[in-house]
Amino acid sequence: MQDPRLRLLAVVAISLTAFSGVAGAFFSSLWYFACTRGPVMLKRSPWPLVAFVPLFLVTAALWITGGEWLSYLVRLGMVVLIAIYAYQDQKPGEFIQVSTWAFGPGVGFDLGLAGELGVSSIRFLGGEVQRVRQAYRLKNIPIRVRALTSIATGLVFGLLRRAEDQADLLLVRGYERGGVSCVKFSSPLWDRIAAGVAVLLFLLCFFPVRGFFILAQ
């Protein structure tokens, strides 16, 4: 989706729909495969799938304790998949653009800048993980559990150094608060359709016809 505003609206609406129940997760999966490039982007760069590890751990704990693990796995799994799509489809600068458009050049710019720094750190971490994997592959060394500790420690220290460098850069440039983002959003017809379908599914799920979802389960 080209318009980050419509993407944000669609992601929030469809995530709430997926979390509402198994039927909502099913219809959210249809939206995910029909209205987004999520599967294609995930095939090109599958590393964000590591976000499913905590989900599987919690699901296993629910299964052991006799909780509703299947419903939890389906609903939260779809939410995580949509979050991965939103992360991969997001382009640099969109956080600042949307936040400034929504909340103004003061608080909006600050919120957008914080979001941009957070997402850029995740992208930096993803690049570092790819480089570590490539280095181990070139040396023909398997990544064992013992090596994960040293790898994770190096990644954490790398992120901390990067955060310190970014803070120094903002200080040198004299940044205090607020800013202006001059951008013109483009809203293609397909973006409007995809966002409209997401909002429609949300309304069907949480308003008078929610009984349809209950019966479908």
d(CA 24, CA 15): 9
Q: By C-alpha distance, which of 1, 24, 2, 3 is closest to 13?
A: 24
- Per-position pLDDT tens, the chain of length 217: 888 889 999 999 999 999 988 888 999 999 999 999 889 988 888 878 888 988 999 999 989 988 888 999 999 999 999 999 988 888 888 888 888 888 888 888 888 888 888 888 888 887 888 888 888 888 887 777 777 777 788 888 888 888 888 888 877 777 777 777 777 788 889 999 999 999 999 988 876 554 554 555 5
CB 82 within 8 A of CB 11: yes
